[in-house]
Each structure stands twice: as C-alpha cells, then as structure tokens.
Amino acid sequence: MRMKAYGKINLGLDVVRRREDGYHEVRMIMQTVGIHDRLDLTEKDEPGITVRTNVSFLPCDENNLVYKAAKLLMEEFDVKKGLDIYLDKHIPVAAGMAGGSTDAAAVLVGVNRMFSLGLSQKELMERGVKIGADVPYCIMRGTALSEGIGEILTPLPPMVECPIIVAKPAISVSTKFVYENLHANELEYHPDIDGMAEAIKRGDLKGVVDRLGNVLETVTATKYPVIEEIKAYLMERGALGALMSGSGPTVFAIFDNEETAEKAFEDLKNVGLARQVFLTGVKNCGKRLF
C-alpha cells in the first residue's frame, strides 16, 4: 500500500497562553502544501513492525513516529500479522512542517485500511493526538483553524491556489526549545487569526498575505538571522508575503505569479541561504483519506 503524506505550513500562528501543565494553547491557520513523503506499507506473515528509510539520521525503532502509529493501532486491535514500513522522506526534518506527524497520520490511515479495523476519520484523529498534537490535523488536511494544543480543528474552505516557495536553512530547530524560550504572556503582537480565516472564506489572497504572522519568530528568527534574510530575499524578488512556518526554521513565501516565483526559486537555490528549496503550491486533498 503506497501513501503520500503531505507537509503543512502555518499561515498564522498565535500562542494564547501557557497552560499549567506546560502545554501552550495555540490558534493556528494550517495549510497543506504539495511537498510530501512517500510511504510503502507491506503486510508480513511474521509479527512485528520494521521501519526503513532513505534518511540515514532518522531513527528506525520505536522513536520513529511511523512505528509509534503502527504500534498504537496494531496493539489495540491485537493484529497478529506484521508490518514493514518504508519511508521515502522529502519533507524537511525538524523544520516546522509537521513531517513526522504527517507520516504518523498516513500510517494510522494505512493500517486502519490494510487490516480492516473499521475506524472512522474522527476515531483515527482521537488516537492520533496521543502521538502528537498535529497528527489529527495531518489526518484531516487542507485548510483549517487549529486551536487548543492543536487538536481542536475547524475546517476552512480551500485557500486560493498560488505558487509557494518553501526554504529550509541548514539548521535544525527543536519545537521543544522554541516553546520553552517563548515568553507567551509578554507578546507584544498577536496575528489576526480570525481576520485571516475570514479572508480565506472570501477567497481574498491579499487579505491572507496581509495577516501572515507567527509569534514563534520572536524566538527562532531572533536566534537565527538567516530566517529574516531568506524572507527579505524572497520579498525583493516579488513575493507577496513571507513567513516562518511552525517553530521554524523553514520559511515560506507566497506569490501570485508563476514566472516570478520560478525566477525567485532559481535565484534562491543558487545563493546558498537555504539547504533545501522547493517550489510548490497549496494542496487541497478533498475529503479522501490519503
């Protein structure tokens, strides 16, 4: 069974408060983009889960989120057969694109289908949140408002199609580090998440771009100046807007013109600011589960 697991960007990311239990309450506008990992799931007669991947530094044991996802469902439903997972990774790792979460989401959907477990999308999402806060969204995909710790999801109509450049500089950022260093109660600026949701509903790309904002930039972009450098570079080359995604360090830029985006993409690839550069677009997956 072959599956595509898509990455996301955050068009808006606000932190409302830090909860007593250490989790942060967020309000985010999530958007699936065209960059994806490929997963091959193969049933085995002998029990056990095996994980293989094309990326040498990723764990292949229970520390890989795909392993956790398979184990969660296979234990609960006492599946006697085994499963081999091959993960062909393309989404930048530790980058703010929910790469691990989307792989886990694909495995939950795949295992449910492969072993005929009969779980609904909602039931898969309830299990997904045990693996990670973004996993329920990665099962749902598309354009959505995400609240709580990320598990309260309100679908939005698809965002206007547009070219998007995604660029990851040669640094890795731990989500934990960023949240630990965020002064959630002292933020001077909060992005207009509700205004952005309204702009998406109106199909108003300019309204979306005018409201791009991510409070986690106060931590990650302050520590790594290359983030603002990439944003400025892409703005000079005709982007309508540019922002860091999630806890970073990935930057994305929105264009309204394919040619301008292609030229900016070629220039950015050659200038050495980012190690991974993609020219992609919004991905609207419809109601189909992977």
Binding stretches for ligand ATP (CB under 6 A): 58-59, 63-66, 87, 93-101, 103, 134, 175, 246-247
60-90 burial: b if 16+ Cβ within 10 Å, else e: eeeebbbbbbbbbbbeeeebeebbebbbbbb
Selected catalytic residue, list 8, 68, 89, 168: 8
In the bound state with ligand ATP, the residue whose beta carbon lies nearer, of 96 and 160, is: 96
In the bound state with ligand ATP, the residue whose beta carbon lies nearer, of 59 and 157, is: 59
In the bound state with ligand ATP, the residue whose beta carbon lies nearer, of 137 and 255, is: 137
CA angle 147, 250, 239 (to 5 degrees): 95
- Our answer to whether residue 134 is catalytic in this structure is yes
In the bound state with ligand ATP, the residue whose beta carbon lies nearer, of 137 and 265, is: 137
Selected catalytic residue, list 37, 134, 168, 283: 134
DSSP string for 86-102: EEE--SPSSSSS-HHHH
Give min distance, CB of 102 to ligand ATP, in A: 8
Residue 17 per-residue DSSP state: E
- Closest residue (Cβ) to ligand ATP? 100
Give min distance, CB of 118 to ligand ATP, in A: 25
Q: Pick from 88, 86, 76: which is nearest to 115 by CA?
A: 76
In the bound state with ligand ATP, the residue whose beta carbon lies nearer, of 120 and 222, is: 222
Give min distance, CB of 27 to ligand ATP, in A: 16
CA angle 90, 95, 99 (to 5 degrees): 50
Q: Report which residue type is found at 260.
A: T
- Our answer to whether residue 78 is catalytic in this structure is no
Give min distance, CB of 99 to ligand ATP, in A: 4
* Strand ranges inside the chain, DSSP E: 2-18, 24-44, 48-53, 82-88, 143-147, 152-155, 163-168, 213-214, 241-244, 251-254, 276-281
Dihedral over Cα of 27, 33, 38, 42: its sign: positive
Residues annotated catalytic, as ranges: 8, 134
